[in-house]
Amino acid sequence: MNLEDIRELVEKMITGGVRSADAELLVRKNIKVDGEKIRIGKKTFQRDEYEEIVLLGIGKASVSMAIGCGMIHPDDGLVIADSNNYGEVDRCPVKVRFADHPYPKQANIDAAEELFSIVKDKDNALFIFLISGGGSALFTLPAEGIPLSDLNKLNKLLVKSGANIHQINTVRKHLSRVKGGRLGKLCSKKGDIASLIISDVVGDDLSVIASGPTYPDHSTYEDAKEVLKEFDLWNKISDSIRERIDRGVNGELDETPTKSEVHNFLIGNNMTALQGAKKIAEDRGLDNIILTSQNQGEARAVAKPLMGIAKEIQDTGNPIKPPATVILGGETTVRFSSEDTETGKGGPNRELVLSSAIEIKDRENIVVGSVDSDGIDGMDKAGAIADTSTIEKCELDPKEHLEKHDSQPYFDSLSDSIEFESRTNVNDITVIIVEEKE
What pLDDT sits at residue 342?
Answer: 59
What pLDDT sits at residue 159?
Answer: 82
Question: Is the pLDDT assigned to residue 23 strictly greater than 80?
Answer: yes
- Identify the bridge partners of residue 77 per DSSP, sorted by sequence position: 55
Distance between CA atoms of 279 and 213, rounded to whole angstroms?
34
Give long-range contacts, CB 8 A cutoff, 24+ apart: 221-228: 221/174, 221/245, 221/247, 221/248, 221/249, 221/253, 221/255, 222/249, 223/170, 224/170, 224/171, 224/173, 224/174, 224/175, 224/248, 225/249, 227/163, 227/167, 227/168, 227/170, 227/171, 228/171
Q: Hey, what amino acid is at 184? A: G
pLDDT confidence band for 341 (50 / 70 / 90): low
Nearest-5° Cα angle at 39, 34 to 44: 105
- Give the model confidence (pLDDT) of 268-277 as tens digits: 999 999 999 9
Give domain 23-268's CATH number out of 2.40.50.100, 3.40.47.10, 3.40.50.10180, 3.40.462.10.
3.40.50.10180
What pLDDT sits at residue 343?
Answer: 65
User: Average pLDDT of 195-219?
Assistant: 96
Q: Give the distance from CA 410 to its chain's centroid.
A: 25
pLDDT confidence band for 163 (50 / 70 / 90): confident
Which of 166, 169, 65, 159 lies closest to 103, judged by CA? 159
Question: Is the pLDDT assigned to residue 41 strictly greater than 90?
Answer: yes
- Identify the bridge partners of residue 82 per DSSP, sorted by sequence position: 99
Distance between CA atoms of 250 and 244, rounded to whole angstroms?
10
Question: Is the pLDDT assigned to residue 340 strictly greater than 60?
Answer: no
Please, where in the chain does CATH 3.40.1480.10 lie?
3-16+270-434
| Interacting residues of 282 by C-beta distance below 8 A, sequence separation 6+ | 288
Query: What average pLDDT does the structure give for the chain?
Result: 95
- Give the model confidence (pLDDT) of 310-328 as tens digits: 999 999 999 999 999 999 9
**What does the buried/exposed string (b/e) look like for 283-314 if buried means 16 or more CB atoms within 10 Å of the residue's CB?**
eeebbbbbbbbebbbbbbebbeebbebbeebb
What pLDDT sits at residue 37?
Answer: 97
- Give the model confidence (pLDDT) of 45-78 as tens digits: 999 999 999 999 999 999 999 999 999 999 999 9
Please, where in the chain does CATH 3.40.50.10180 lie?
23-268
Distance between CA atoms of 304 and 310, rounded to whole angstroms?
10
Question: Is the pLDDT assigned to residue 339 strictly greater than 70?
Answer: no
pLDDT confidence band for 351 (50 / 70 / 90): very high
pLDDT confidence band for 338 (50 / 70 / 90): low
- Give the model confidence (pLDDT) of 397-406 as tens digits: 999 999 999 9
Give the number of other CB atoms < 10 A from CB of residue 399. 11
| Interacting residues of 143 by C-beta distance below 8 A, sequence separation 6+ | 174, 175, 176, 177, 244
**Architecture category of domain 3-16+270-434 in CATH:** 3-Layer(aba) Sandwich (3.40)
Q: What is the pTM of this model?
A: 0.93
Percentage of the chain exceeding pLDDT 90:
91
Q: Point out the least confidently predicted range of 78-87, 96-105, 195-204.
A: 78-87
- Contact between residue 394 and residue 428 where contact means Cβ atoms under 8 Å apart: no
User: Average pLDDT of 193-218?
Assistant: 96
First to last CA, the chain: 11
Report the phi/psi class of residue 186: left, alpha or beta, with left for phi > 0 and alpha for psi in -120 to 50.
Answer: alpha
Distance between CA atoms of 156 and 174, rounded to whole angstroms?
17
Report the phi/psi class of residue 44: left, alpha or beta, with left for phi > 0 and alpha for psi in -120 to 50.
Answer: beta
User: Average pLDDT of 37-49?
Assistant: 97
Q: Hey, what amino acid is at 274? A: L
pLDDT confidence band for 11 (50 / 70 / 90): very high
Distance between CA atoms of 63 and 89, rounded to whole angstroms?
7
User: Average pLDDT of 165-190?
Assistant: 95
Distance between CA atoms of 8 and 416, rounded to whole angstroms?
12
* Number of alpha carbons in the 13 Å side-chain half-sphere of residue 104: 28
What pLDDT sits at residue 378?
Answer: 81
Question: Is the pLDDT assigned to residue 336 strictly greater than 90?
Answer: no
More confidently predicted of 1 and 228: 228
